[in-house]
């Protein structure tokens, strides 16, 4: 059970990165040209706009990715 949770959190991390990067390419995110304001603005945009609308997709994707990662690990273990 613990190993499955590790793979779930790995999938969750991948989904957070995927949606964060996808949110940066959204037309609603505005760049100011000042690097630190862009970083703060991107986190603010992610928390206030991306997460409220995509949380269910992130959770479902995390479960799917965690299952795939765990299945790949078991498959590699059987090949050895």
CA distance 76 to 58: 26
**Integer-rounded Cα radius of gyration of the chain:** 16
CA distance 75 to 18: 25
pLDDT of res. 31: 81
pLDDT of res. 61: 95
Tokens of 79: 């090949």
**Residue 66 and residue 4 in contact, taking contact as beta carbons nearer than 8 Å:** yes
For residue 33, pLDDT beyond 90: no
For residue 63, pLDDT beyond 90: yes
pLDDT of res. 76: 92
Q: What is the mean pLDDT of residues 12-30?
A: 87
For residue 80, pLDDT beyond 90: no
């Amino acid at each position: 059970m613990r190993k499955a949770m590790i793979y779930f959190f790995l999938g969750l991390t991948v989904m957070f990165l995927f949606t964060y990067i996808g949110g940066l390419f959204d037309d609603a995110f505005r760049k100011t040209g000042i690097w630190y304001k862009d970083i703060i603005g991107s986190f603010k945009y992610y928390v206030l706009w991306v997460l409220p609308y995509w949380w269910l997709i992130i959770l479902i994707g995390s479960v799917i990715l965690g299952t795939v990662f765990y299945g790949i690990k078991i498959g590699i273990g059987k090949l050895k």
